[in-house]
Amino acid sequence: MMTFGGKTGISGFYSTYDFRLNPHCASFEQNLDLNQVISFGVTWRHIQSRSILEYVQDTSSFLKIELANAARDKGQIFNVRGLGTAIAFDCRSKSATDSMQHWLLKRGIVVARVGPNSLGLRPALVLGPKHAANLRDAVYQYHVNHDAMDRM
């Protein structure tokens, strides 16, 4: 089974014949536009010709290792998890999560709240190790009292 989001140009759910929905049990409307299919083909060829998926895997591995090291060394974050560049990590409390999100945003790093104490990353496919290193460095530099320090 495969799903594609709107950013691919062809959002939807696709599967093999074995997983097709029974038309007598459920109503499933397919609104596939041929222009979207052609656009996705161009996008997919671009991804393949530039080995972007391998690049994403390399960056993901680097990012997960570095965030795990930061979790071990600093103790501010924990439970680093994810697949590809869809990565999340937990902070110790809701206030620590708010503070960490604010800290990262001030450094140009956008992370989303994905749980009460969790922050998640959903970067573009072109996120590279250099960008991931910026996140790692910001996590290492973070201190729970950063707001008071910023005002000094």
Task: Give tens-digit pLDDT for 22-37.
Answer: 655 544 445 566 777 7
The domains located in the chain, with CATH, are 2-49 (no CATH), 52-151 (3.90.1150.10)
Residue 28 confidence (pLDDT)? 45
Residue 56 confidence (pLDDT)? 86
Name the 3-class secondary structure at 108.
coil
Per-residue tokens: 90: 């937990």
Residue 27 confidence (pLDDT)? 46
Residue 81 has φ and ψ, to the nearest 5°, of -155, 165
Answer with the residue of higher pLDDT: 90 or 20. Answer: 90
pLDDT confidence bin for 151, thresholds 50/70/90: very low
- Ranges of H-type helices in the chain: 34-49, 52-74, 94-106, 129-141, 146-151
pLDDT confidence bin for 12, thresholds 50/70/90: low
Q: What is the pLDDT of residues 41-97, one digit of tens each?
A: 888 898 899 888 888 888 889 999 999 999 999 999 999 998 887 899 999 999 999
Q: What is the pLDDT of residues 99-116, one digit of tens each?
A: 999 999 999 999 999 999
pLDDT confidence bin for 152, thresholds 50/70/90: very low
